[in-house]
Amino acid sequence: MMSEVRFYLSLFFRRFHYLALIVIGCAAAGIMLAFALPPVYRAEARLVVESPQIPGDLASSTVQASGYEILEVIQQRLLTRSNILSLSERYGVHADDPSITPDNIVKDMQERITIQIPLETYNNRDRAFFVKVSFDAPSGEMSANVTNELVAQILEQNTALRTDVAGQTLEFFVGEVARLDQELAEQGSRILEYQEANKDSLPDSLEYRRNRQTSLQERVVQLDRELSGLRDRRARLVEVYERTGRPDFLGESLTPEQRQLRQLQDQRASARVIYSEDHPRIKSLDGQIAALEAANIKLGLGTETAPNITAFELQLADLDGQIDFAERERSINDNELQKLAASIEATPSNAITLGSLERDYENLRVQYAQATASLAEARTGEQIESQSRGQRVTVTETAAVPQQPTDPNRKLIAFLGVVAGFGLAGATFLLLEILNNKIRRPADLEEQFGGPIFGSVPYIQSTGQVAAKRGLVTLVILLPIFCAGLILYLIQINYEPIDQLISIVNETLGIGTSAGESESG
């Protein structure tokens, strides 16, 4: 085991100069890269998304999107091509590279801008949370200016977005209420027109029409009986007249005047049997008869012997008038019954149509009530957003000009260069051993020939080989020192004095600042 360790240690020291050259080269490359990378300053601002100032159970905003969703929308608006190009031109972010294309400007600016929104606030709408906004720039002042501009745009976009949403919601419900009001008026007019057009066959008067139909049917039956009786009386009157020549025997059909005239005539006939024509009794009756005949003639009744119309005709006329009146009344009742039957028959379909119109009206009324309530909420929400009483974004810390660059981490890059040198040297050493199949020790001979070795003579270098090897090692050690001195000399002559360069390096690495802070402490 110890022989193996000694063997590999001898190989390591034998190849130390090569390995050292690899380590030094990688370390030098790492240090050069650390100082060659341009400094990146990152100014950071902090925003807070506050919870609504008015409780939601008292009055809620019409902006229902969470703060996370609103900030996501704002972030997409900030990263639009036009806005990014405007920021780059306004603050001269790419002024030192006039040949850069707009596409590369957009890509570079999107990589420089950072907006950190906590993901856990996505589902919590009322919880307050903080947002970090930063911008990477080659100078601290530029980084602070661009970051503050981004913050200002976020505040402006948040206010505009929330007020626009609230205003659009209010505008929508104002239009919706006006539309539903118009539709309600039109639907009411349609219902009124339908009711006017079908006022005799609407369901609300169905009971009255059925009662009216029943009473009319009873009246028709009664009229039929009356007509039957009148027609029988007329037929009997005609039959009596045709047999006797008189309409009746008892004078029941005469008027009082005609009946009185008949009585006077009967009295004169009785007195004529007893008295002569010159008797005062006869003359008195003649005077009364003449006067009554004159009165009957004047009334148009005539007398019994010379009537204007006969009693038979008068009775027939009376009966015919009653029959005609009853028939007209029955015809009127029949017409009304037909109309009632038609209206009662049309009532079910009219009820369905009217019910459909009224349901549409009721639906519109419910929608109108809901829209009116939503309009009131929209007005309240618009007032909340216009007065910034809802969820809002405020600045807790503006971006200050950073005094030290944030990136790159030069110490880490240099350290990684050294680590990479050691790693590459170790990998080279192992690779050389894996690829080397030469016989270099007795164990290799035993493995090669499969038998024990009784003795071995080590390789003896000549004096020239030893001198050449020592010279190469010395060259490997002195060459980096010489190159570093030459570089420092050239920097001293052509670029900047060494002491100032050391101050810049210390300031870049933060050494000078730490020392100054220690002294002040």
How far, in Å, CA of 234 to CA of 319, rounded?
Answer: 6
Specify the pLDDT at position 399: 83
Contact call for residues 413 and 511 (beta carbons, < 8 A): no
Beta carbons within 8 Å of 459's beta carbon, 6+ residues apart: none
Specify the pLDDT at position 178: 92
3-state secondary structure 414-462: HHHHHHHHHHHHHHHHHHHHHHCCCCCCHHHHHHHHCCCCCCCCCCCCC
CA–CA distances in Å: residue 409 to residues 109, 131, 157, 503: 21, 25, 35, 18
Contact call for residues 70 and 162 (beta carbons, < 8 A): yes
Helix axes 463-490, 16-36, angle to 10 degrees: 10
Query: Coil, helix or strand for 388?
Result: coil
Chunked into runs of 10 residues, the chain (521 residues) has average pLDDT values of 57 64 75 69 84 55 64 86 89 84 90 82 65 87 89 84 79 88 91 87 86 90 88 83 59 62 75 76 79 66 49 74 88 90 88 90 91 82 64 79 75 77 77 62 59 60 72 70 64 57 57 40 33
How far, in Å, CA of 476 to CA of 24, rounded?
Answer: 10
Specify the pLDDT at position 518: 37
Contact call for residues 43 and 402 (beta carbons, < 8 A): yes
Specify the pLDDT at position 303: 46
How far, in Å, CA of 292 to CA of 263, rounded?
Answer: 11
Specify the pLDDT at position 5: 57
How far, in Å, CA of 170 to CA of 193, rounded?
Answer: 35
Query: Coil, helix or strand for 483?
Result: helix
How far, in Å, CA of 32 to CA of 320, rounded?
Answer: 139
Nearest C-alpha neighbor of 148 from the set 41, 44, 42: 44
